[in-house]
Amino acid sequence: MTAISVLTTERLTMRAPRLDDFEALAAFYASPRSRFVGGPLTRELAWRALAQEAGHWQLRGYGRWLVEAAGTPVGLVGLWFPEGFPERELGWDLFDGQEGKGYATEAARAARRHAYETLGWTTLISLIADGNAASEGVARRLGARPDGRFTHARFGAATVWRHPAPSERAP
């Protein structure tokens, strides 16, 4: 079993997804908020999504963390490279009611730092579905820039946002 690092920021704890996160994840995937990431989904498919999150850590050695603020699950943020993606991705999904608080940006910065400083990566993208203005805002705050287009077989058209390389980021 892969040991999953716990990351902390000023306001957030980023930890391994676990079984007791299912209700929060199922609620997210049942909502219209999930439309940019393949939803809405049934509870069965939300269960499979939770298993996929946990399994990605085992198969790749990295993945997305369940993000908590004051002990409350607020979303999933982290490193992602499932089959069918063009490169390793930094992705973020916030649960209903958690947007507008800076959680995605804060957690994504921590995940990107982990990718560059701990895993030694030199590049990273975010795939943002057409029409997802909120995620485009997060990408801009992180210093990412549009770098082409990609069409995923299941999720459809997206813009590739390229994150600054470690050498390009401010200290």
Residue 116: which CATH number?
3.40.630.30
Instruction: Report the chain (171 residues): mean pLDDT per 10 consecutive residues.
Output: 91 97 98 94 98 97 98 98 96 96 98 97 97 97 98 93 87 48
pLDDT value of position 170: 53
> Is 18 inside any structural domain?
yes
> Is 131 inside any structural domain?
no
Q: What pTM does this model have?
A: 0.96
Apex 38 CA angle, 37 and 40, nearest 5: 105
The tally of domains found in the chain comes to 1
> Is 166 inside any structural domain?
no
Domain that holds residue 108: 7-124
Apex 122 CA angle, 159 and 80, nearest 5: 55
> For residue 14, what are the β-bridge partners?
7, 67
pLDDT value of position 89: 98
